[in-house]
Amino acid sequence: MGAIVLKSLEEIELIRESALIVSKTLGILASEIKPGITSLKLDKIAEAHIRDYGAEPGFLGLYDFPNTLCVSPNSHVVHGIPNNTPLEEGDIISIDCGALKNGFYGDHAYTFAVGNIDSKVEKLLRITKASLYEGIRTFKEGNRIGDLGYKIQSFCEKEGYGVVRELVGHGLGTIMHEGPEVPNYGRRGTGKKFLNGMVLAIEPMINQGTHRINQLKDGWTILTADGKISAHYEHNVALVDGKPELLSSFKYIYASQGITSDEEEGLRKNPLVL
Ligand code: MG
Ligand code: MG
């Protein structure tokens, strides 16, 4: 992980531009995700749209990753490689996407339901996403990295879920993975202080069962050790005037799905124009 780099307001706007390219791409994928489609097809759609927006796929070639999207269905946690297996009714699939424009990265993720899903699965998605926003709201002046991790961990563990330890959020800028590391677990009042100009990728990876994970022989795919399902949501957030400023948005996804949500309320100075 690289050093911590504080950003100017101008640089934060460039990261916002890249982050929103990812947001729009996830919005397009939201309307394509249904039983029968393959993750490789989703990957091609995402790559074409990212290039249409004048950006480059942020993950393609990064550490030699072979694709535009990381796709992680069901018991897969993160870093899955797109393939030709059709999605099935009742599956979930985490899609993580990056874009690079003007030298700055956007990087965020959403776990989608494929058709109708079981209520226990729906609950894992709902709690994991809610934990992301709980974490984002601790990213403010006076708090530390450990406060954010504690919030996400306690929020998810009280539901009996496992919080992945080996993979963490990170700083974001001209490098995809800058400092600081942003664990989804921690102790209150510990770790680095939050500073204006920090830009973080906050990304809880939450398992229905054990927090323990394994890696497939492909050298990429991370999956739960007990085979139970896992969810992953990620936003890009800057600290501006002591408060969290959301740079990415799930509203493009919700627009595709025909739903509204107030979950991003109060996290943006200027309203988002879809
Ligand atoms: Mg990501
Ligand atoms: Mg990330």
Q: Tell me the residue type at 222.
A: I
Stretch 176-186: mean pLDDT, rounded? 97
pLDDT per position as a tens digit, 61-74: 999 999 999 999 99
What pLDDT score does 273 carry? 87
pLDDT score at 1: 75
Q: Which of 231, 223, 221, 31 is nearest to 132 (CA)?
A: 231
CA 4 – CA 198 distance, rounded (Å):
8
Q: Per residue in 82-102, pLDDT tens?
A: 999 999 999 999 999 999 999
User: What percent of the chain lies above the pLDDT cut of 70?
Assistant: 100
pLDDT at 21 over 90: yes
Task: Give the C-alpha separation, 267 to 151, whole Å.
Answer: 17
Burial annotation 52-84 (CB, 10 A radius, 16+ → b, else e): ebebbbbbbeeeebebbbbbbbbbbbbbbbbee
Residue 201 and residue 235: Cα distance in Å, rounded?
6
Q: Which residue has the tokens 């870093």?
A: 79
Say if residue 43's pLDDT is above 90. Answer: yes
All domains of the chain in start order, with CATH: 9-257 (3.90.230.10)
Average pLDDT over residues 103-119: 98
Stated length of the chain: 274
Taking the centre of ligand 2 as the mean of its atom positions, its distance from the CA of residue 270, in whole angstroms, is 24
Nearest ligand to the CA atom of 169: 2
Could you tell me the distance, in angstroms and rounded to a whole number, from the CA of residue 69 to the centre of ligand 1?
9
Residue 2, pLDDT score: 80
For residue 187, give the H/E element and its range: none
Chain-wide mean pLDDT for the chain?
Answer: 97
* 108 Cα: distance to centroid of ligand 2 (angstroms): 6
pLDDT at 199 over 80: yes
